[in-house]
Copies of this chain bind each other. A is one copy, B any other.
Amino acid sequence: MPREFDPWSVVDVEDYGKLIEVFGIEPLTEDLLKELPFLNRYFARKIVFGHRDFQIIIKAIKNNEEYAVMSGIKPSGIFHLGSKMTAEQIIYLQKLSPKAKVFYAIADIEAWEDNGIPFEVSINYAIENVADLIALGIDLKRTYIYLQSREPHVMRYGYFFARGITYNLLEAIYGEKHLGMYMSAMVQVGDILLPQHPDFGGPKPTVVPVGADQDPHIRLTRDLAKKYARRHGFIPPAAVYHKLQWSLKGPGFKMSKRDPMGYITLKDPPSEVRRKLMNAYTGGRETAELQKKLGGEPEKCAIYQLAMYHIDDEAKVRRIYEECKQGLRLCGECKREVTELFIKWLIKHQEKREKNLSKAEEIIHEALSRG
C-alpha cells in the first residue's frame, strides 16, 4: 500500500520522527512487532511509534520471566481519552504474559503540587479512575495500586534520588517551576523504580507506556537508574511511546480540561458526547462538490483520529479512511457513524465502571492504610 494510503500514518509523523532522530528514541520496527504474541490497536496502528530498550520486555515474555508494567494517573479529574489510551496500553502489556505485574501510581502528590488538590480530595478522583481502569480490563490479581502520598517506599525514593540534582538540570527538563513540582518529578522517578525495590522482588525488567512528551522524564529516570545500578541493581526501565490525541478542535490543539468541548471524559453523558463529536473539527473540504472531487483529509480530522485511536474494528476504520480519501463519504454521515460506534462502546463502559465503583473504593481505602 503506498504511504499516502496508509491509514495508520496520518498523525504528526514529522514531529515524532524528530523525537527519534534527536533524542534517540528507537523506532518500533516490524521485526520487533513480529516478536510480540499479539498486537493491540495502538501497536498495530503505529500510534505507538517508538521505544527505549523494549527488547528487555520481549525477552522476558519469551523466557516466561517476570517483568513490571509501570504507569499511573494524576487524580485531578475523570479519565479522558488520553488516560484511556495509557490504561489500555498498560492492560495490553499486562496481557502479553502471565508473568507481567502492573504497578499503578495514583499521583496524588503531583495533583497537589500541580493543581493544588489536597490529598483528601484527590482520593475521590482516584476512586473514579480506578473504576475506569477495572472496567477497561485490568487484571487486579496482578496489579499493585497505590497512592504516592501513602506509599513510604516511593516518598523515600523521591528524597533519595534528589541528591545532587541541580537546578539547571531541572529547569532544562521541566522549565521554571516551583519546588513542589520538582519534588513531584523525583517522586515519579521513585514510582518508575518502585517495582525494582527489594520489598517488591528486586531488580526486574520494567516498561513504562507514555506519551511522547514524557521522554525527558524517562531519560532522567534511566540516568538515575544507571547512577545507582551498582548499589541497587536497577535495570534501566524500558519505555514505549505513543502519539498524543488532539483536542476535538483538530490538529495543533492539545486536549485539555480547560476546553471541555475539545475533550471527552469516560463519564460524560452520551448525549453530551454526541454534541461534542457533532461539533468536532473534520478534514472536510469547503463544499461537498470539492470533497467529492478531491477527497477528504483524514490526516487533519479529529473524527478520523477518534476512530483510529478508539474503534477496534479494523476493517471499518480502513473503510472510513479509504472512502474519505476517495471522496466517497461526506463529513456529516461520517461523524454520525463514528459517533454512534463510539457511543455504543461508551455506554457499555459506563455500565462496567458504575459496577466497579465499590471495588475501586475498597482498593483506595486499602491504599490509604499503608502510610
Residues of A participating in the B interface, judged by any CB pair closer than 8 Å = 109, 112-113, 116, 118-119, 149-150, 152, 155-156, 158-160, 162-167, 170, 176, 178-180, 182-184, 186-187, 231, 371
Which 3 A/B pairs are nearest by Cβ-Cβ distance? A152-B371, A162-B180, A163-B180
Q: Which residues of B contact A112 (CB under 8 A)?
A: 159-160, 163
Q: How far is the CA of A118 from the CA of B161 in the complex (A)?
A: 12
- In the bound complex, what is the Cα–Cα distance between A155 and B147 (angstroms)? 14
Q: When chains A and B are docked, how far (Å) is the Cα of A371 from the Cα of B199?
A: 12
The answer to whether B166 and A179 have CB atoms under 8 Å apart is yes
A230 to chain B, nearest CB (A): 13
Q: Hey, which chain B residues are within 8 Å of A187, CB to CB?
A: 159
Choice from B113, B163, B231 contacting A162 with Cβ under 8 Å: B113
In contact, A116 and B158 (Cβ under 8 angstroms)? no
Q: How far is the CB of A252 from chain B (nearest CB, A)?
A: 31
Q: Closest approach, in angstroms, between the C-beta of A113 and any C-beta of chain B?
A: 5
User: Which residues does chain B contribute within 8 Å of A162, judged by CB atoms?
Assistant: 113, 178-180, 183
List 27 A–B pairs whose Cβ atoms lie within 8 Å, in order of A's numbering: A109-B159, A113-B163, A119-B160, A149-B156, A149-B159, A150-B152, A152-B152, A155-B158, A155-B159, A156-B371, A158-B159, A159-B180, A159-B187, A162-B180, A162-B183, A163-B178, A163-B179, A163-B180, A164-B178, A165-B178, A166-B178, A166-B179, A167-B167, A167-B178, A179-B182, A183-B183, A183-B186
Determine how close the nearest CB of chain B comes to the CB of A296; give it in whole angstroms: 47
Distance (whole angstroms) from the CB of A259 to the closest CB of chain B: 25
Cβ contact within 8 Å between B152 and A165: no
Contact of A179 among B119, B152, B170, B178 (CB under 8 A): B170
Residue among A149, A183, A186 with the most chain B CB within 10 A?
A183
Residues of B within 8 A of A231 (CB): 118
B167–A184 CB distance below 8 A: no
Q: Determine the distance from Cα of A111 to Cα of B258 in the docked complex, in whole angstroms.
A: 43
Within the complex, what minimum Cβ distance (angstroms) separates A191 from chain B? 13
A166, A186, A371 — most chain B CB neighbours (10 Å): A371
How many angstroms between the C-alpha atoms of A119 and B158 in the bound complex?
13
Q: How far is the CB of A306 from chain B (nearest CB, A)?
A: 36
Report yes or no: B113 in contact with A159, Cβ–Cβ below 8 A: yes
Minimum Cβ distance to chain B for residue A17 (Å): 33
A72 CA / B239 CA spacing, docked (Å): 42
Contacts of A152 in B (CB 8 A): 150, 152, 155, 371
A164 neighbours in B (Cβ, 8 Å): 178, 180
A164 CB to nearest chain B CB (Å): 5
A165 to chain B: closest CB distance in Å?
A: 4
With both beta carbons as reference points, the residue of chain B lying nearest to A163 in the complex is identified as B180
Complex Cα gap A178–B167 (Å): 7
User: In the complex, A135→B233 CA distance in Å?
Assistant: 40
Q: Closest approach, in angstroms, between the C-beta of A90 and any C-beta of chain B?
A: 25
A155 to chain B, nearest CB (A): 4
Apart from A112-B163, A155-B158: 12 A-B pairs, beta carbons within 8 A: A112-B160, A113-B163, A119-B160, A152-B152, A152-B371, A158-B183, A159-B183, A159-B184, A164-B180, A167-B176, A167-B178, A179-B182
